[in-house]
Structure 1
Amino acid sequence: MSNPYAKLPGWAEYGLIPLVNLVVAFLVAGLVVLLVGESPLEAAYHLINGAFGRGEYIGFTLYYATTFIFTGLAVAVASHAGLFNIGGEGQAYVGGIGVALVCLWLDRVMPWYVVFPLAILGSAAFGALWAFLPGWLQAKRGSHIVITTIMFNFIASSLMVYLLTRVLKPLGSMAPQTRTFEAGGQLPKLDWLLGIFGLDIGNAPFNISFLLALLAAFGCWLLIWRTRLGYEMRVMGHSPSAARYAGIKDARITVIAMMISGGLCGMMALNPIMGEQFRMQLDFVQGAGFVGIAVALMGRSHPAGIIPAAILFGMLYQGGAEIAFEMPTISRDMIVIIQGLVILFAGALENMFRPAIGRIFASVASSRSASSAAKGA
């Protein structure tokens, strides 16, 4: 299939177009703020100040970004294989079960640095297992991956309710949650990291799972662009017929890509469960699986783009809470609208400005060619 758009330089493809989409999204969001009778400039100030104005605010922003890095990477890995994993919510839920079981088992007898690696394995294994089923159904039975992953989200949610009300809830407790973990199940904060810059994170739950997220991003880069498996995934994502002609087993790639994607989503559970709540409770995912789709789209499914995109959405979450507090007219629902506009322009309308930008680049290239030909004559 021919590409309907002109090829752009890498800096334009991965930098300029997302930036243009983001600027337009915020301009439209500013109009929405103006319609409710508030100042867009004041809202922008509270958004930025609420996300980066103090060390504690930065800590919360990076805490949210950590979660979105994991889910964004998960969507990106699947997309490179031509798969749209929309089941991040369910895979994160089930990954949280793996984290909770490890912590409930070892938190009273082992230090956190022993529990943490085992919790990583537990979260990744449980998340990968939950993603294996939709991957296998697509590979062997032709079931559409979007439909199955959506359905598995609901199954995971129901499984979580059952476990937290019937199995893992402590005796005598009314709340649908596990007991609070002891010190072995609690991750240390990264206060020293921001302390290098003279910042105090206060009560922000910014913890070492952020470093794990950065390692995961680097690992995904190595996997996709520096391994044979990654090459096979990209070939299948670009042209399944070419992949089959080259002898690549599409069923194998589908299952493996989905398991890696599910494992990354499962690891997201480490951040809220061991880094903030110190227990597993209902709704700890809080829509992060769906935000990961927007993060991957805005980051062009590349780890170098996913990390700043995740920080952007962390800013929207943390700064949005500050806007709702400082400007009561702008409710939390309005913040969701702003987030939705960013998702709309970064995802559904990502190619809106590409033709115009492509024409500009083509015109500049044509002018340079004509100038070079004139000088040569």
Structure 2
Amino acid sequence: MSSQALQMPRWMDLVLLPLWNLLIALLVAGGVVLLIGASPAQALTVLLDGALGSARGLGYTLYYTTTFIFTGLAVAIAFHGGLFNIGGEGQATLGGIGVALLSLWLAPHLPAFVMIPLAVVAAALFGMAWAAVPGYLQAWRGSHVVITTIMFNFLAASLNGYLLVNWLRPNGSMSVESDAFAESARIPAVHELLARLGIEWPSSPLNLSIVLALLACVFVWWFLWKSRAGYVLRAVGSNPGAAHYAGIRPRWQVLAAMGLSGALAGLVGVNEIAGVQGKLTLDFVAGAGFTGIAVALMGRNHPVGIVLASLLFGTLYQGGVEVSFEVPGFSREMVVTVQGLIVLFAGAMAMVSAPMFAKLYAMVARQRRAAGEKTHG
């Protein structure tokens, strides 16, 4: 049951309900922190200070945020097409493979202003192609996209390992990673650009991929709510039967939704491979595809909400590392537990409190109507 079906106003659905869910999640997480003998106030203070209290911490937080924006948008655009894409992990992996293959082939011969746009296109196309296969299987063969995208995550990880071990690893190297890319294939880091302007900024993985992520948000907003193609895609997602009766071909919209979703997930490869690693590595996605599901749920599948939810999860990831170092008795496993609780309450159980807010809104509306009738009576 959606919040709209419960007749909640949009501001309550997009703002009040997520904030309430986040508060509940923090309270439950605080209870867990108390159970292990630590101070919730201290843990929260260290988390926020580690993620937002310094330039270096903020750089790491925004770096994580960039990746989560890509995977969150990927889940959201598939959702608007009536699909649940759980394959962001594999599609991001293929995006990184696309960046690596193109960079190893062309970067020694091309300047950066040509190479970087080509790397972005390669990441999007490889992710799109990987997602289009489950889309085709659902649209024309009836294979459920949830099952196929999960399995394609394992296939992508296996393909990445095979390429690194058998083809891309330098001779004599024991590390399972490719050769380093030429400099023209590297996305400039923010601290390096600021240094050229005479501004001192601590080094961090944050790079210009964050600009690409924000442009992707603008594109998704325009595509879904301002373009005819986006309207058609949302129509199929809302009611495939009615869309087909109106002359729309749902099969092609399934393929389009999955293709766009995969392209957005593939852009993770730009941030991680071209922006940070400078070479293809194993497991560079590191669960970001699955985190994107929680980001999209919490962000209500809207680009603005996804940016805010990505910033929250970026703060949790970076601040959680600081908590595991600074708070006695607070292990890395406990950090993951707390993050999981926030995902559970703020993402997966996002609509549990919706009926309560809908009833409160209806009650207040009835009282206002009654007061208005008395005034006019």
Name the TM-score, length of structure 1 as normaliser.
0.96
- In structure 1, distance between residues paired with 2:199 and 2:20: 32
Q: Please give the residue correspondences for 1:228-247 in structure 2 after superposition, counting only pairs within 5 Å.
A: 228-247=228-247
- In structure 1, distance between residues paired with 2:313 and 2:194: 20
Match of 2:283 in 1: 283
Query: CA 1:244–1:176 in structure 2 vs 1: closer, same or farther (change >3 Å)?
Result: same
Match of 2:157 in 1: 157
- In structure 1, distance between residues paired with 2:96 and 2:212: 16
Query: CA 1:33–1:2 in structure 2 vs 1: closer, same or farther (change >3 Å)?
Result: closer
Match of 1:249 in 2: 249
Match of 1:69 in 2: 69
Letter in 1 for 2:239: S
Match of 1:266 in 2: 266
Q: CA deviation at 1:157?
A: 0.7
Is 2:19 the partner of 1:19?
Answer: yes
| Structure 2: gaps (5+ residues) | none
Q: CA deviation at 1:188?
A: 1.0
Between 1:5-14 and 1:38-47, the stretch displaced more is 5-14
Match of 1:121 in 2: 121
Letter in 1 for 2:357: I
Match of 1:131 in 2: 131
1:162-213 deviation per Cα after TM superposition (whole angstroms, max 9, x unaligned) = 0000011111111111111221121112238889xx9854121110000000
Query: CA 1:224–1:352 in structure 2 vs 1: closer, same or farther (change >3 Å)?
Result: same
RMSD: 1.7
Is 2:366 the partner of 1:359?
Answer: no
Is contact 1:54–1:199 with CA below 8 Å preserved after alignment? no
Between 1:55-64 and 1:270-279, the stretch displaced more is 270-279
Is contact 1:107–1:115 with CA below 8 Å preserved after alignment? yes
Is contact 2:189–2:207 with CA below 8 Å preserved after alignment? yes
Letter in 1 for 2:12: A
- In structure 2, distance between residues paired with 1:54 and 1:350: 31
Query: CA 1:323–1:58 in structure 2 vs 1: closer, same or farther (change >3 Å)?
Result: same
Between 1:215-224 and 1:322-331, the stretch displaced more is 322-331
Query: CA 1:134–1:11 in structure 2 vs 1: closer, same or farther (change >3 Å)?
Result: same
Match of 1:89 in 2: 89
Match of 2:144 in 1: 144
1:28-78 deviation per Cα after TM superposition (whole angstroms, max 9, x unaligned) = 000000000000000000110000010010000000000000000000000
- In structure 2, distance between residues paired with 1:238 and 1:135: 17
- In structure 2, distance between residues paired with 1:291 and 1:36: 26
Is contact 2:119–2:185 with CA below 8 Å preserved after alignment? no
- In structure 2, distance between residues paired with 1:256 and 1:287: 25
Letter in 1 for 2:129: L
- In structure 1, distance between residues paired with 2:332 and 2:72: 23
Is 2:190 the partner of 1:190?
Answer: yes
Q: CA deviation at 1:130?
A: 0.3
Secondary structure at the residue paired with 1:108? helix
- In structure 2, distance between residues paired with 1:3 and 1:49: 35
Match of 2:330 in 1: 330
Query: CA 1:193–1:186 in structure 2 vs 1: closer, same or farther (change >3 Å)?
Result: closer
Secondary structure at the residue paired with 1:269? helix
- In structure 2, distance between residues paired with 1:62 and 1:235: 34
Is contact 1:71–1:292 with CA below 8 Å preserved after alignment? yes
Q: CA deviation at 1:107?
A: 2.4
Query: CA 1:2–1:200 in structure 2 vs 1: closer, same or farther (change >3 Å)?
Result: closer
- In structure 1, distance between residues paired with 2:372 and 2:50: 51
Is contact 1:5–1:355 with CA below 8 Å preserved after alignment? no
Is 2:299 the partner of 1:299?
Answer: yes
Match of 1:44 in 2: 44
Query: CA 1:210–1:372 in structure 2 vs 1: closer, same or farther (change >3 Å)?
Result: same
Name the TM-score, length of structure 2 as normaliser.
0.96
Is contact 2:3–2:354 with CA below 8 Å preserved after alignment? no
Letter in 2 for 1:167: W
- In structure 2, distance between residues paired with 1:113 and 1:347: 39
Between 1:198-207 and 1:153-162, the stretch displaced more is 198-207
Identical pairs, percent: 51
Query: CA 1:199–1:336 in structure 2 vs 1: closer, same or farther (change >3 Å)?
Result: farther
Secondary structure at the residue paired with 1:204? coil
Letter in 1 for 2:166: R
Is contact 1:50–1:319 with CA below 8 Å preserved after alignment? yes
Letter in 2 for 1:231: Y
- In structure 1, distance between residues paired with 2:200 and 2:26: 30
